[in-house]
């Protein structure tokens, strides 16, 4: 049996520098088997092979005149973010002028009841903003 959960955010979320921050979402567009938890995590009800997807849009940043330091923006799937943290499917990228989009898909085997979320991190000298995000899980249950 296949199940799906898709969380959606279209309001800004402020992300402080140099700390992993769990993304929160505004709504669940789909929530088979009540997998959505607190609009931050997806918790599958069965063991299975999972296809997780995320889409993140970082808003433009302001760089002070003369500052040529390369800034790094990262995102990852995080299993059990409030317990024994286990990251997977991480990706990092240098910032470019204007908005930045990051889309990533990760396939892995997961366990029933194991919460998964999306965390972001950056090393800009001030807060950065995620203006849009989507988080989706499709499972093929055993």
Cα–Cα distances in Å, from 100 out to 2, 61, 68, 103, 138?
A: 32, 10, 18, 10, 25
Output the pLDDT for position 16: 98
| Phi and psi torsions of 32, nearest 5° | -60, 140
Q: Residues in the chain with pLDDT < 50?
A: none
What is the pairing mode between strands 2-9 and 86-94? unpaired
Output the pLDDT for position 99: 62
Q: How far apart are CA 107 and CA 114, in angstroms?
A: 15
Helices (H) and strands (E) counted in the chain, each on its own, are 0, 12
Nearest to 141 by CA among 63, 77, 45: 45
Output the pLDDT for position 130: 95
Decide if domain 2-61+71-141 falls under CATH 3.40.710.10: no
Output the pLDDT for position 90: 65
- Kindly list the domain boundaries of the chain, sorted by start residue: 2-61+71-141
């Amino acid at each position: 049996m296949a199940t799906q959960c898709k969380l959606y955010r279209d309001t800004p979320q402020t992300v402080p520098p140099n700390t992993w921050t769990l993304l929160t979402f505004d709504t669940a567009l789909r929530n088979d088997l009540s997998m959505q938890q607190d609009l931050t995590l997806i918790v599958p009800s069965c063991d299975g092979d999972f296809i997780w997807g995320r889409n993140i849009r970082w808003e433009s940043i302001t760089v002070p005149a003369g500052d040529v330091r390369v800034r790094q923006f990262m995102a990852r799937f995080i299993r059990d973010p409030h317990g024994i943290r286990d990251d997977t499917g991480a990706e990092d990228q240098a910032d470019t002028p204007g908005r930045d989009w990051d889309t990533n898909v990760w396939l892995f085997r997961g366990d029933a009841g194991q919460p998964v979320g999306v965390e972001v991190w950056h090393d800009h000298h001030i807060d950065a903003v995620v203006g849009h995000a989507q988080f989706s899980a499709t499972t093929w249950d055993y």
